[in-house]
Structure 1
Amino acid sequence: MTSQEPVIKLSDLSDESLLEICKAADVIACECPGYLARILRQVRTFRQYTLGCIDQFPQDRETHLWLAQRAEQLEKILWDTTVELMYKEELIDDSQQILLNKLSARARETALKQIGQSPDNRR
């Protein structure tokens, strides 16, 4: 029997996958996984932007290459941090897939606890 739970392969943290993580974690609670995913997307966007500046401003090529390299380093740190957090929170299964339903359920449970409502007493 196959699971119908939505998952993302850890090896495929594309921008679309990062958006799905943001959506799954987007409640009034601890949004750390979603927050990290949003920052990672912004850094990726900035890196692409600065690489595009090389064509527009060839006289500043060295500066833009440096910025792109620094952004790439930052992207690696954010990627590693996001993956480590998801492992710590047991949001990645043995098949290296991010369990979106588990992420959503955990975020909802945290939000309900914060407002003093038991997850079992939801309406």
Structure 2
Amino acid sequence: MKHDEKIAQLHRHMASVGVSPFTTAPPAWRLLWWLGAEVPPPMFLSFPVLAASAGVVFAVLFGLAHWLLPFMPGLSSPIEVMVVAGVAGLVFGLALAAIYRGIARRHGLSSWSDYRGHP
């Protein structure tokens, strides 16, 4: 089965068990797929990979947003911004990874290479 066919099958499968399409395929993944990257959906990534990738992206975006749009006037030095962004990224990454691994466990999803549709 081709990557796009597996994605379509996953959408049908997750919709049938009540998982939102935006949980199944978040906007960042949709963009990657549109660009031609054959990355597995987030619920098929390992906890460390998902936590690290989501955490780093969140921390960088959070830091840039604070630097460009100073909406947190209490943080003035770049070190403070980096520490807060790092902690926020860590918390976000761990939470997101826990949520996605919970969904995968609840619905019996194993690896993307073995996925064939409904378990």
Give the TM bin, normalised by the shorter chain: 0.3 to 0.5
- Structure 2-normalised TM-score? 0.42
Choose 1 or 2 for highest CA Rg: 1
Structure 1 length normalisation: TM-score?
0.41
